Structure 1
Amino acid sequence: MGAHVHAELVRRGQTIASAESLTGGAVADALTAAPGASESYVGGVVSYATRVKTDLLGVPATLVAEHGVVSAPCAAAMARGVRALLGTDWGVSTTGVAGPDSQEGQPVGRVYVGVDGPSGTTTHELQLEGDRAAIREAAVRQAVEAVLLQLQRGAPPADGAGPA
């Protein structure tokens, strides 16, 4: 799936960056698995601690206070923040609870994925099943699929060459 994202981004002349919490860099790994990934993937931030989300990615502290870090607004802000920080066309983020314990009143398996790009920002709320490893793996897969979905929804290539 990461190879499909890479191919579509290269076709468009666009780039992507990732901001990850519970996936700990696994989205970056998935997006860099394709040969030549440096043409589309710029870099990422593993923002496991809240202060990294606020200090580095620019997630407003007021947003964290109101919604928590395990929330759709936080996922959206993380995706926007990494896109701005690294100067890419697209940003993707993951935040959630992999377990074994709940966090901020959110159950184990609650994950939010954010995608920010030329066509706007989307978030996806997921309730994933399994142990910690299974939740993290599923979150990575869902994040990459969310990027591909946004690309396929018709965001125009950077050169305006027509529909995707």
Structure 2
Amino acid sequence: MTGGRWRDRGIAALGLTVIWVLLWGSFTPLTFVGGLVIAVVVLIVFPLPAVTYSGRIHPLGTLRFAGRFVLDMVVASFQVVALAFRFGHVPRSAIVAVTLRAPSDLGLTMTAEALSLVPGSLIVDVDRRKGVLYVHVLGVESPAEADKFKEDVLELERRIVRAFGSPAERRAIEEVPA
């Protein structure tokens, strides 16, 4: 196993350990060691596929992504609450297919995860080869609203690529009109 592969597994084990400690709600030596042991066992029993990351983290892009992501979550939360409390109105929804412009495995995953964390949207399927996300969207009443949602997803992808993308992904995002 190469040095890079060991490093990746070490980072994954550390990440899983941090999640374990956070789930327990307190940091003690026992929860840390227990989490580390469980993380190592999980990584041995369920080995992760190799993910190549040829990009780098862009601090300004990361700040823009994080700020807008928090704003999107707050706004979407209020929109879902408003839909839930509109008496006599049955909210409509749609499955919207969005073809990403720079669909690397990591970019596709990060975009799908960010979308699923925002209330009112949920990934129902992914076509990895074509780079298509199929998203269930709450509150879509017309084809125009579905198109607006597609634009919002492509803008989310743009922010993610600007924050974490490789030079090739950044070029692909800039070459294709939004």
TM over 0.5: no
**Structure with more of its chain in strand, by fraction:** 1
Q: Rg bigger for which structure?
A: 2
**Structure with more of its chain in helix, by fraction:** 2
Give me the TM-score of the superposition, normalised by structure 1: 0.27
